[in-house]
């Protein structure tokens, strides 16, 4: 494989000390190549969020190494970590995290504003990202004028707009009904077909089934890591 987008080795994470010590990760090694679509599953307490926070450069491991697009993230200090994060990762959260009373297109533009991109180019790129998720016609709507599924697709556009090396999603369909889940998964399918690298955490087997690779965590360890034939959407597209 060419240089992996993500390459973690023997990650451990220990919380607390003494009697309160928790070994949240007990030696996790994982390489994700460009264009892969990985679902991470595991029961509550298995270490999913801990792993996701480390993969997202939001937290540091107790031990182990982490290369993100060839950059040794375990050695970066806070400011560099924030820069690597902004440049390399697009985040999608369970709760969408859109800014209220700001239009969809303005929300999508935000990461570009932080990166210092000028307003005209910001607008063009944000509109193109909304086009990708099928919501160009909702660009002027504010979050509370959009359905849950539409809000999450706006959040996907916001994650995409900086052209990150990695899309990282934590329970992206956890707050959605089945129809909206279908719409969001269809966007992920489409992004995966277009060569995007996606890592997501999910509790839902039907979400995990759509990925190309399924990883199971139990008690801070990877117990299964296998390729699978992704299940493709059986439903038609609902965009309204």
Summarize as ranges the residues that interact with ligand ADP (CB under 6 A): 15-16, 22, 24, 42, 44-50
Written in H, E and C, the secondary structure of 7-64 is EEEEEEEEECCHHHCEEEEEEEEEEECCCCEEEEECCCCCCHHHHHHHHCCCCCCCEE
109: its two tokens: 């533009």
Measured distance CA(177)–CA(136) in Å, rounded: 22
Length of the chain: 240
Nearer to ligand ADP among residue 161 and residue 217 (C-beta) = 217
Q: Nearest approach, Cβ of 162 to ligand ADP (angstroms)?
A: 26
Which of ligand ADP, Mg ion, none lies near 180, with the C-beta cut-off 5 to 8 A by kind?
Answer: none
Binding-site string for Mg ion from residue 29 to residue 68, where x marks contact by CB under 5 A and - marks none: -------------------xx-------------------
239 binds Mg ion (CB under 5 A): no
8 A C-beta contact, residue 72 and residue 57: no
Nearer to ligand ADP among residue 44 and residue 144 (C-beta) = 44
Q: Nearest approach, Cβ of 59 to ligand ADP (angstroms)?
A: 9
Which of Mg ion, ligand ADP, none lies near 21, with the C-beta cut-off 5 to 8 A by kind?
Answer: none
Residue with tokens 């070994």: 23
Q: Nearest approach, Cβ of 95 to ligand ADP (angstroms)?
A: 15
Report how far Cα 224 is from the mean position of its chain's Cα atoms.
20
Nearer to ligand ADP among residue 60 and residue 187 (C-beta) = 60
**What do you get for the CA distance between the two ends of the chain, in Å?**
40
Which of ligand ADP, Mg ion, none lies near 47, with the C-beta cut-off 5 to 8 A by kind?
Answer: ligand ADP
Q: Nearest approach, Cβ of 207 to ligand ADP (angstroms)?
A: 15
8 A C-beta contact, residue 204 and residue 9: no
Measured distance CA(214)–CA(43) in Å, rounded: 14
Which of Mg ion, ligand ADP, none lies near 213, with the C-beta cut-off 5 to 8 A by kind?
Answer: none
120: its two tokens: 């005209």
195: its two tokens: 């060569």
Give the interface with Mg ion as residue ranges (CB under 5 A).
48-49
């Amino acid at each position: 494989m060419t240089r992996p987008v993500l390459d973690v080795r023997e990650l451990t994470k220990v919380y607390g000390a003494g009697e309160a010590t928790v070994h949240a990760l007990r030696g996790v090694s994982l390489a994700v190549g460009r264009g892969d679509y990985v679902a991470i599953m595991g029961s509550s307490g298995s270490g999913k969020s801990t792993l996701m926070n480390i993969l997202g450069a939001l937290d540091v491991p107790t031990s182990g190494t982490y290369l993100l697009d060839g950059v040794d993230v375990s050695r970066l200090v806070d400011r560099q970590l924030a820069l690597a994060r902004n440049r390399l990762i697009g985040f999608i959260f369970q709760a969408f995290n859109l800014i209220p009373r700001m239009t969809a297109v303005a929300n999508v533009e935000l990461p570009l504003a932080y990166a210092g991109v000028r307003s005209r180019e910001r607008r063009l790129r944000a509109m193109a990202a909304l086009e990708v998720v099928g919501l160009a016609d909702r660009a002027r709507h504010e979050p509370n004028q959009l359905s849950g599924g539409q809000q999450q697709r706006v959040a996907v556009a916001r994650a995409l707009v900086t052209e990150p090396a990695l899309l990282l999603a934590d329970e992206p369909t956890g707050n959605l009904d089945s129809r909206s889940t279908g719409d969001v998964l269809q966007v992920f399918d489409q992004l995966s077909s277009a060569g995007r690298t996606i890592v997501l955490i999910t509790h839902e087997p039907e979400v995990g089934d759509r990925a190309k690779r399924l990883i199971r965590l139990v008690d801070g360890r990877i117990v299964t890591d296998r390729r699978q034939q992704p299940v493709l959407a059986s439903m038609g597209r609902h965009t309204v």
